[in-house]
Chains A and B, each alone.
Chain A
Amino acid sequence: MPSLKAYKNRISSVKSTQKITRAKQMVAAAKLRRAEEAAKASRPYTERMEAVLANLAKAAKDAPNAPTLLRGTGEDKTHLLIVATADKGLCGAFNSSIVRLARERIVKLQGEGKKVKIVTVGRKGNDQLKRLYGELIVWKMDFVDVRQIGFQQAHEIAERVLSMFEAGEFDVATLFFGKFKSVISQIPTAQQIIPAIAPEGLETPDLKGAVYDYEPDEGEILKALLPRYVAVQIFRALLENVASEQAASMTAMDNATRNAGDMIDKLTLQYNRARQAQITKELIEIISGAEAL
């Protein structure tokens, strides 16, 4: 049986672990609020962008000179998977579930004889994927030294992805990220971003019979709009990812704090029992010593 001292040490170590997890939970809650706000602030832009694109794409989709970003390259050979995860752990299965989704896709695509290229955004995804698919990773990016993810970062990623697309390095790009549904539910999601899928079911504004004037013309606008649309989608995915990460981290840390509490209770009980046993033992020793006289 461990000594009383050993019990005491274990209790105090679990207690300090609990302190850490509780602090981390509170930090995550605060960060989650900020992330949600950032996601909310970006929503009007995204929604309007989608409306504008839906409006334009309807007219331009069937045109033979539609940009390849919208129409696709006409092939389906090389796939680029952009896997966005968090930079830090301590957030439950958040990173692993995104990576798992991406891995299933890789296996499926490779089974169909297609070429796969990977871009990882966030350190954890890179760590997990490079073990199995190290040679497929084309480049990686992380935000370890970025405090708040802004449009700038999304723009950078979009620019690199687009220049790869222009160089004909892939045909289809899919973005993997954790969609933020609620604090307790984050859904790993795969979203195709190139060729762009125009959002459907959006109402186009009622023009009351008037016709749009395009300056310089539809093609030019679409050409400028599509790359931005790609960046906007990446931006939204990054923001959702941050919110999801914090939410997952909050839940995970909440569980950890509770588990630590249970463990402290159990250890305290054992400690008390051991203390009682020791007292009883000492008493027996004294009594039997007295009887022997």
Chain B
Amino acid sequence: MADKLHFNLVSPERELASEEVDQVDVPGAEGMFGVLAKHSPMMTNLKPGVVTIRNGGDSRRIFVRGGFAEVTPAGLTILAEEAVPVKELDAAAITQRIKNCEQDLADKDSTEATRERAQAELSELKELQAAL
């Protein structure tokens, strides 16, 4: 059996994972990348997306938003501003939020700032929906 990778996933409110795993796929700012044990040290920003943790035959998926991934010889650490296991996401709620955003965008009265925010949220939500 190959070496295991020590993996930590923490958000400001809790620690979601701290374990030995085979491989973790991370949505980096410049594309998805997989991390195995003995990966060379690196640091990257994260894009909103899904982190996939593979261990043996199992895989777990966690949605993360805003943060960093750091690979050191000691293992992989992901600092995410928001992290939710995909299982806990609510498809109906997301669809509703997408609708709200689209309304904000379509509304002629909304200001430039709200529109910008809605646009950003919308692309994030689309990402979320795709993950489901």
B29-59 toward A: CB 8 Å interface, digit per residue (1/0)? 1100000000011111100000000000000
Q: Answer whether residue B68 sits at the interface, using C-beta atoms and an 8 A cutoff.
A: yes
Give the total number of A-B pairs whose CB atoms are below 8 A apart. Answer: 83
Q: Answer whether residue B119 sits at the interface, using C-beta atoms and an 8 A cutoff.
A: no
Residues of A close to B24: CB separation below 8 A:
none
Q: Answer whether residue B129 sits at the interface, using C-beta atoms and an 8 A cutoff.
A: no
Chain A residue nearest to B33 (CB atoms) is: A215
Q: Once the chains are docked, how many angstroms separate the CA of A246 from the CA of B18?
A: 31
- Restricting to A165-205, which residues have a CB under 8 Å from any CB of B? 205
- Restricting to B96-111, which residues have a CB under 8 Å from any CB of A? none
With A207-B73, A208-B73, A215-B30 in contact, is A48–B40 under 8 Å at CB? no
Q: Once the chains are docked, how many angstroms separate the CA of A235 from the CA of B12?
A: 8
Residues of B close to A232: CB separation below 8 A:
12
Contact assessment for B45 and A224 in the assembled complex, using a CB-CB cutoff below 8 Å: yes
Residues of A close to B79: CB separation below 8 A:
45, 48-49, 52
User: Which of these, A151, A154, A208, A215, contacts B43 with CB under 8 Å?
Assistant: A215
- Restricting to A189-240, which residues have a CB under 8 Å from any CB of B? 205-208, 210-216, 220-221, 224-225, 228, 232, 235
User: Which of these, B18, B68, B81, contacts A221 with CB under 8 Å?
Assistant: B68
Q: Once the chains are docked, how many angstroms separate the CA of A207 from the CA of B41?
A: 7
Contact assessment for A48 and B8 in the assembled complex, using a CB-CB cutoff below 8 Å: yes
A-B residue pairs in contact (CB < 8 Å), sample of 17: A41-B15, A45-B11, A52-B70, A52-B77, A205-B41, A207-B72, A210-B41, A210-B73, A212-B41, A213-B41, A213-B43, A215-B42, A215-B43, A216-B29, A221-B43, A221-B45, A228-B67
Given pairs A52-B68, A216-B45, A228-B81, 16 additional interface contacts (CB within 8 A): A41-B13, A41-B15, A42-B13, A45-B11, A46-B12, A48-B70, A52-B70, A56-B43, A151-B12, A154-B12, A205-B72, A212-B43, A213-B40, A220-B29, A221-B44, A235-B12
Residues of B within 8 A of A (CB): 8, 10-15, 18, 28-30, 40-45, 66-68, 70, 72-74, 77, 79, 81
